[in-house]
Chains A and B, each alone.
Chain A
Amino acid sequence: MVVENDSERLLAYRRGIIEMLFVEGNHFCMFCEKSGECELQALAYRFGITAPKYPYLFPRREVDASHPDIFIDHNRCILCARCVRASRDLDGKHVFGFVGRGPEKKIAVNAEADLAGTNADAADRAMEICPVGALMRKRVGYAVPIGQRTYDHEPIGSDIEAKRASADT
């Protein structure tokens, strides 16, 4: 079996998808505390996306800061479902789920009203797996300064590609 991955055609599709992820949310890297640790930002850098060719949608999205230790910023959510799976499979809690369809689809919490009504905890595995700045812990922002973060040092995917480099030598 032959798998095609690093081809011009696939790269063009991927760039388009990454651009769509940017324009359908509100991703302002310059004042996002996830900058440098964000997989979406890192992918854009890796694939050379400086500005999307699609128009920004500027959707109105909510921020749920009701919980004392964590918050959800729906502006930055790319609907990857990592928190849904991590809360269910790793934490055994079912804190997160999806509601709505199409452009209305969003992460919902397992409570009457908001995150404060759930049994989510800052120590949950679900809190550390968000690829963007949508699900964040409070009071730890900028603990690592901008410029000293994971993707400030090397492009996303470098850790994986390093395995091959060491195998080749």
Chain B
Amino acid sequence: MSETITFTIDGVEVQGRPGQTIIQAADEAGVYIPGSAIRRTSSRTGRAGCARCW
């Protein structure tokens, strides 16, 4: 699993892995995207509830 996806968020270059959400990759890189519904449960089903994180 060495494949990475590179993107830029707020001017910061971030490395993501296939299957990750943008928020998960941003979290790991230290870029905060506000949102509660998508955090702290399971990655498989985490998804936006109120659209605050959009």
Q: Is the A/B pair a real complex?
A: yes
Residues of A bordering B, CB below 8 Å: 1-6, 10, 13-14, 17-18, 21, 39-40, 43, 46-47, 78-82, 85-86, 89-90, 129, 131, 156-157, 160-167
Closest chain B residue, CB of each to CB of A6: B10
A89/B45 in contact, CB under 8 A: yes
Contact of A2 (CB < 8 Å), options: B8, B42, B52, B54:
B8
B30/A161 in contact, CB under 8 A: yes
Residues of chain B in range 23-54 having any CB-CB distance to chain A below 8 Å: 26-34, 36-37, 40-42, 44-46, 49-52, 54
B52/A82 in contact, CB under 8 A: no
B7/A3 in contact, CB under 8 A: yes
Closest chain B residue, CB of each to CB of A18: B52
Q: For the complex, what is the distance from the CA of A115 to the CA of B8, rounded to whole Å?
A: 45
Closest chain B residue, CB of each to CB of A1: B7
Q: Determine the main DSSP class of A at the interface with B.
A: helix
B interface size (C-beta, 8 A):
30
Closest chain A residue, CB of each to CB of B49: A80
Closest chain A residue, CB of each to CB of B53: A14
Q: For the complex, what is the distance from the CA of A13 to the CA of B34, rounded to whole Å?
A: 12
B29/A164 in contact, CB under 8 A: yes
A160/B32 in contact, CB under 8 A: yes
Q: For the complex, what is the distance from the CA of A148 to the CA of B45, rounded to whole Å?
A: 33
A1/B50 in contact, CB under 8 A: no
Q: For the complex, what is the distance from the CA of A6 to the CA of B40, rounded to whole Å?
A: 22
A12 to chain B, nearest CB (A): 12
B5 to chain A, nearest CB (A): 8
Q: For the complex, what is the distance from the CA of A82 to the CA of B39, rounded to whole Å?
A: 8
Contact of A78 (CB < 8 Å), options: B33, B45, B50:
B50
B37/A82 in contact, CB under 8 A: yes
Known interface pairs A161-B31, A164-B12; 16 further A-B residue pairs with C-beta atoms within 8 A, sorted by A's residue number? A2-B9, A3-B7, A3-B8, A4-B9, A10-B54, A17-B50, A43-B52, A80-B37, A80-B49, A82-B36, A86-B41, A90-B41, A161-B30, A161-B32, A163-B30, A165-B30
Q: For the complex, what is the distance from the CA of A129 to the CA of B46, rounded to whole Å?
A: 13
Q: Which of A21, A82, A90 has the most CB of B within 10 A?
A: A82
